[in-house]
Amino acid sequence: MGYQIEVAFDMRVVGSVTQIKSELVKKAEKNNCEMHYVTYERDGYRGMTTRNHSVMTFIFPEEKKFIVNFIRFVREFKEARFESISIDDVKSTILFASRKYLSMMAPQFVKRYKKSRHLLSQEHKSIVEEIHKMH
């Protein structure tokens, strides 16, 4: 069981995420990150780009302190947006999902996510609260 956190950057604003990526990877590794990778999402309509994001995914061990430290560090980057945080047990449970992330999910999964948010343990709720502190 471990935590997965996705952090997105709008490439139209940031341009290159090389420096940000290296800082995040360095901090993640200091917090026992088990694995990380980058994907790119690009959406558009009739030649107009509506989404051009770099999404960094980090996998952390189950210990809460590591992911909380990392969340606090990511909040320092105004260009960064949390896409999702989930925990993998026997099944994957989404602890947090951004509005954009929810808009990309199938409606039945959005409904299930919204119903299950209040069933999170206190430990998981405190992790989600770390994200909301940035707003």
Q: Please list the pLDDT of the chain residue by residue as tens digits (135 residues).
A: 689 999 998 877 776 678 888 999 999 999 999 999 998 877 777 777 667 788 999 999 988 899 999 999 998 888 888 999 998 776 778 888 888 888 888 888 888 888 888 888 888 888 888 877 754
How far apart CA 6 and CA 55 sit, in angstroms, is 6
In order of their start, the domains of the chain are 2-132 (3.30.70.120)
Q: Are residues 96 and 135 in contact, defined by beta-carbon separation less than 8 angstroms?
A: no
| Adjacent-strand bridge partners of 51 | 43
Tell me the residue ranges of DSSP E strands in 11-130: 35-45, 48-61, 80-88, 92-97
Helix (H) or strand (E) holding 68: helix 64-74
Q: Are residues 87 and 95 in contact, defined by beta-carbon separation less than 8 angstroms?
A: yes
Q: What is the model's pTM?
A: 0.75
